[in-house]
Structure formats: structure tokens, C-alpha cells
Structure 1
């Protein structure tokens, strides 16, 4: 999914919420699904990477071009003193 498609889907979800066609919980669930799809089916040369190890980083997902860049992005989010490994989400 590309960025434009993701934004269009989020916009449609917000419009449905504003028009009373859906409730907030359903809209939140839909937006989360859109974001998850965007991150794991990204068309822009980046890949999704899931962190594991230090509890502060465990389960985080970042987009990056390489394993090294993914670790750096996780460290930027949770701090430099974390022990973390990353694995690519296929």
C-alpha cells in the first residue's frame, strides 16, 4: 500500500465517523489496520522490522532500508543503551 492509498483510506474512515456511519472504536480499529498494512506492505523501498530484546524496545516496528538502520531507528526511539535485535517482517 502506498502513502496516498493509506491516506485516502484514513480519510474515508474519518468521513464515515463524522457522518455517523461508524463508531469511534470501529474507526480506531480500521485506522490501525490501515497503518499496519501500510507498514508491512510498504511500496517505497523500505521494509518493516520488528525489534526484540530490551523490554523498552520489544515489539516495536520501524521502517528501514537495512537491519543496521532499523536498529538505529529503534535506538533513536527508546534510547542508546538498549540491547536490541531486529528481524524483517515478511
Structure 2
């Protein structure tokens, strides 16, 4: 899924919420699903990587081109350059 498609899908979810055709919980679920699809079916050089290790990083998913870059992005997200984290590429 490309960025424009993801944004259009999020926009549709918001419009449905504004029109009263869906509730907030359903709109949130739909937007989360769009983001998951965007991250794991990304069109480009980036890939999705899931972190594990320290509790602060467990389950975080980042987009990066390499394993090293993914670990660096995870460390930046938790604001701890010394955090213990391993990453695995999502298919």
C-alpha cells in the first residue's frame, strides 16, 4: 500500500465517523488496520521490523532499510541509545 492510498483510506474512516456511519472504536480499529497494512506491505525500500528484548522495546514495529537502522530507530523511539533490542523483519 502506498502512502496516498493509506491516507485516502484514513480519510474515508474519518468521514464515516463524522457522518455518524461508524463509532469511534470502529474508526480507531479501521485506522490501526490501515497503518498495519501500510507498514507491512510498504511500497519502497523500507521494510517493517519488530523489536524484542527490553520491556520498553518489546513489540515495537519500525520501518527501516536494514537491521542496523531498525535497531537505531527503536533506540531513538525509546530515547535510550544503550537499550537492549533485537529486531526481526516482518514478512
Q: TM-score, normalised by structure 2?
A: 0.97
Cα RMSD over matched residues?
Answer: 0.5
Cα deviation digits, residues 12-69 of structure 1 (max 9, x gap) = 0000000000000000000000000000000021000000001100100000000000
Give ranges in structure 2 of 5+ residues lacking alignment.
Answer: none
Please name the residue that 1:83 is paired with: 84
Partners of 1:81 and 1:68 lie apart in 2 by 14
Partners of 2:57 and 2:30 lie apart in 1 by 25
Alignment length, in residue pairs?
A: 90
Matches for 1:1-90 after TM superposition, within 5 Å:
1-78=1-78, 79-90=80-91
Q: Cα offset for 1:10?
A: 0.3
Partners of 2:6 and 2:47 lie apart in 1 by 16
Runs of 4+ displaced beyond 4 Å: none
Q: Cα offset for 1:2?
A: 0.3
Q: Cα offset for 1:73?
A: 0.3
Give ranges in structure 1 of 5+ residues lacking alignment.
Answer: none
